[in-house]
Structure 1
Amino acid sequence: MFNAERTHPEPTVVFVPGLRDHVAEHWQTLLADKLDRTRTVPPLEHDRLSLPARVAALDRVITGVTGPVVLVAHSAGVIITAHWARRHDRPVAGALLATPPDLDVPLPDGYPTPEELARNGWLPVPRERLPFPSIVAASRNDPLAGFDTVAGLARDWGSRLVDAGAVGHLNPASGYGPWPAAEDLLATLLPARAVR
C-alpha cells in the first residue's frame, strides 16, 4: 500500500516548554495551534525539577514521532534540549531555541537556586556544539539572562543568533502572547506548507 507520509513526511514540531510547562496564552501554545503536526512535552507530575526526568520526557515524545522532528524550546526548555542532545542521537531537522536562562547565577525570587538546579542535574549547562541546525533568539532585557551570556551559548552550540530585541523573557508576563517572529524563524527550519 502506498504511504504518502513515508515518501514525503511532514516534520513534526515538538514543543519543549520551560519550568512553567503548559501556559494557555504563551506564544508556544498559540504557535502550536497554527501548525498541522505538533507534539508538546507534557508536564511532569513528580520530580518537576529533575533534569533527567525532563530529558526522559522529551525523549519519549521524540521517540513517538514518525518522520522528521523540529524542536521549539523556550526558557528552561532550551537547557533541557541541550542536555537531551548530549545524551541522545536521534535525528533532529532543526531547533528554535528562545531565551534560555542563565542558570549559573541566582535567578529572581520564585525560581530555583543554582544549588537546587545543580542537585537536580541542570548544571553544568552543556556547551557542546548541537548536532542539528539551530536558531537562538536572545532578548535585550531578559531578567533571566544577559544578552551576551545567551550569545555565548549560541556560539558554543553552533547556533545562529537572532537579536529578538527588548522582549523580556518572551512570556506572558513580558507581554507575549503571540510572538509573530516565531513563525518567520520556524519557517527557515520547516517547509512552508507546514504552517497554515
Structure 2
Amino acid sequence: MSVLIVPGLHDSEPAHWQSRWATEIDRAERVQQKDWHAPDLEAWISAIHRHVMRRPGAVLVGHSLGSTLIAHLAARYPDLPIGGALVVAPADPELRISRVQGITSFGPLPDVPFQFPAIVVASRTDPYMAIDRARIIANMWDAAFVDLGNAGHINVASGHGNWAEGLRLLDQLLWRRGSIAPEHRVGRSGTTSRLH
C-alpha cells in the first residue's frame, strides 16, 4: 500500500519527520502543491485528489494545514479510495493566530465522518489547535485520538524531527488495513523498515 505525505503551509523542511518518511519509506510519495506559501483550498484539494487517484488505497499522512486538507478531501469526496489517514497537529483555520493569507479558505473545519480508518494526533501546547477542540473534531471525523501531551506543533521546533512514535501510529494504520506482513511494517526502534 502506498503512503502519501501531505505537508502543510510552507512545506516540511528536510529535518521534519514528514520529509524523512518520504525518503525512508518505500512507496511513499510527497503531495506537491504549486505554491506552498499561498495556501488555497481549491488548488490544494485538486492536487491531493490527483495524487490519490494515481495511488488508490493510499494511506495519507498529514501535518498541520495538510491535516486540515485531508479533512476537506474526505468531506468533498466521500467515495475517494483512501486507505487511511494519520492526521497530525491539524491547524484550525478559524484561530486568529492562523490568519495567514489564504488559510481562511480552509475554514470552517469539516464535520463529516471519515469513510476510512484514521488517527488524529494532537498536542496540549499546539498554538494552532486547542487540545479540547482537537478531541472534538477527532470524534466528528470518527477517528481515534492520541493526546501527545506537551508536544508543541509536533514538528522540528518541538523536537519531533525523528518521530518514532509517529512511525508506530502509521504502523497501526497499515496493519489495520492488512496491507503488509508484520516483518515489513514500520520498525519499532525508531528506524523504518521498508514497506512493500
With normalisation by structure 2, the TM-score equals: 0.85
Structure 2 contact 74–114 (Cα < 8 Å) conserved: yes
Shift of 1:71: 0.6
What's the RMSD between the two structures over aligned residues?
A: 1.8
2:114 is aligned with 1:117: no
Based on CA coordinates, which of the two structures has the bigger radius of gyration?
1
Shift of 1:32: 2.3
Distance, in Å, in 1 between the alignment partners of 2:110 and 2:43 is 17
Tell me the residue number matched to 2:112.
128
Query: Which of 8, 14, 24 is the aligned partner of 1:18?
Result: 8
Shift of 1:48: 2.7
Structure 1 contact 69–94 (Cα < 8 Å) conserved: yes
2:149 is aligned with 1:165: yes
Shift of 1:46: 8.1
For structure 2, which runs of at least 5 residues remain unmatched after alignment? Answer: 175-179, 187-192
Tell me the residue number matched to 1:143.
127
| SS of residue matched to 1:107 | helix
Q: Match of 1:70, as an amino acid?
A: V
Shift of 1:61: 0.9
Alignment of 1:7-86 (within 5 A): 11-45=1-35, 48-65=38-55, 67-86=56-75
Tell me the residue number matched to 1:100.
90
Tell me the residue number matched to 2:177.
none
Shift of 1:45: 3.4
2:183 is aligned with 1:183: no
Q: Match of 2:63, as an amino acid?
A: H
| SS of residue matched to 2:127 | coil
Q: Match of 1:77, as an amino acid?
A: G
| SS of residue matched to 1:125 | coil
Counting matched residue pairs gives: 179
> Could you say which structure has the greater relative contact order, defined with CA pairs below 8 angstroms and 6 or more residues apart?
1
Shift of 1:169: 0.1
| SS of residue matched to 2:153 | coil
With normalisation by structure 1, the TM-score equals: 0.85
Indicate how the Cα distance of structure 1 residues 45 and 105 shifts in structure 2: closer, same or farther if over 3 A, else same. closer
Report which stretch shifted further, 14-23 or 186-195.
186-195
| SS of residue matched to 1:165 | coil
Structure 1 contact 100–145 (Cα < 8 Å) conserved: yes
